[in-house]
């Protein structure tokens, strides 16, 4: 597999997540948030599992796209459900609070100085 194919495989899930996030709001208004959230989680989980058994690169791309549809629908639906169930006046404080927490968890894992430098696995590998 070359870089061009690898790029499309990775991008397929991002395209699926974008489409899933944009369409799930409309669908939840029509069919109900709870049903679609459960369906999106099941679809994402099953399709991600099945991706492990794919034999061709295009199979992986298609499965990642459809798994991305499910994953893209999970976040906006979950946020709207939390906001709805939080009650009047409290829903607007929960959602903005989740963004800094997510960023604070992701930042240390991607920084170079956090990598091990002493004896053991990864020793001697610097940024």
pLDDT (0 to 100) of residue 3: 75
> What is the rounded distance in angstroms from the CA atom of residue 38 to the CA atom of residue 60?
23
Per-domain residue ranges for the chain?
A: 17-85
| Phi, psi angles (nearest 5°) of residue 101 | -65, -40
* Closest-CA residue to 74 (of 16, 9, 3, 6): 16
pLDDT (0 to 100) of residue 95: 55
- The model's pTM is 0.66
> What is the rounded distance in angstroms from the CA atom of residue 5 to the CA atom of residue 2?
6
35 half-sphere exposure, CB direction, 13 A CA radius: 6
Any idea which residue has 């979950």 for tokens? 78
pLDDT mean values, one per 10 residues, the chain (127 residues):
78 92 87 90 94 91 94 88 74 56 52 54 53
Report yes or no: 94 and 82 within 8 Å, Cβ to Cβ. yes
> What is the rounded distance in angstroms from the CA atom of residue 48 to the CA atom of residue 67?
6
């Amino acid at each position: 597999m070359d870089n061009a194919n690898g790029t499309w495989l990775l991008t397929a899930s991002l395209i699926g997540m974008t489409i899933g996030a944009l369409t799930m709001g409309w669908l939840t208004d029509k069919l109900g948030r709870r049903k679609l959230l459960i369906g999106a989680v099941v679809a994402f989980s099953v399709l991600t599992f099945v991706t492990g058994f794919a034999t061709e690169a295009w199979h992986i791309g298609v499965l990642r796209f459809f798994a991305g549809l499910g994953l893209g629908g999970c976040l906006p639906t979950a946020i709207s459900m939390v906001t709805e169930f939080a009650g009047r006046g409290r829903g607007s404080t929960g959602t903005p609070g989740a963004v800094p927490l997510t960023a604070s968890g992701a930042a240390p894992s991607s920084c170079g100085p956090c990598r091990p430098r002493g004896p053991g696995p990864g020793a001697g590998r610097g940024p």
